[in-house]
Amino acid sequence: MANSSIAKKNAAAPEISTISIVAPALGWLIPGAGHLIQKRWIRGGLLLISIGAMFVLGLMMNGRVYKPNGGDILDILGFVGDLGAGGLYIFARAMELGGGPAARATADYGKVFIIVAGLLNFISVADAYHIAIGKKP
């Protein structure tokens, strides 16, 4: 009884392979790259364009890029969202983009665009992992 339940559990567990680690990691660093590396060219390209455009539009609207912080809970969540964009976030921080004052109403939209781009990339990373383990075609 116990053995059969363990066997079932093992059968359901996904097999860890190199691609199941590399694809999500690369997908986080470059949006869509997790799909591209698995030869899902159209999906990867569309994800790259959509997430990349959202992040860039956010920056062009003077959106705020959150830094690591331990203050207000919304600031912490903003940082977690931004971090999802991976390489785009690292690039924006390295270039010191998105640090200006929110002088216009569009800056608030820009902040949301940047956070949502990061959150969408988290979903994209999970999708790349599901493809890598064979859970999704």
Residue numbers at the binding site for another protein (CB under 8 A): 43, 46-47, 49-51, 53-54, 57, 60-62, 104, 106, 109, 112-113, 116, 120, 123-124, 126-127, 136-137
Both tokens of 137, joined, read 């075609």
Minimal distance, residue 17 CB to another protein, in Å: 20
Inter-residue contact 96 to 39 (CB < 8 Å): no
Nearest 10 degrees: Cα torsion 118, 96, 64, 69: 80
**Is the Cβ of residue 68 or residue 134 nearer to another protein in the bound state?**
134
The alpha helices in 38-104, defined as continuous H runs, are 41-60, 73-83, 87-94
**Is the Cβ of residue 58 or residue 83 nearer to another protein in the bound state?**
58
**Is the Cβ of residue 21 or residue 46 nearer to another protein in the bound state?**
46
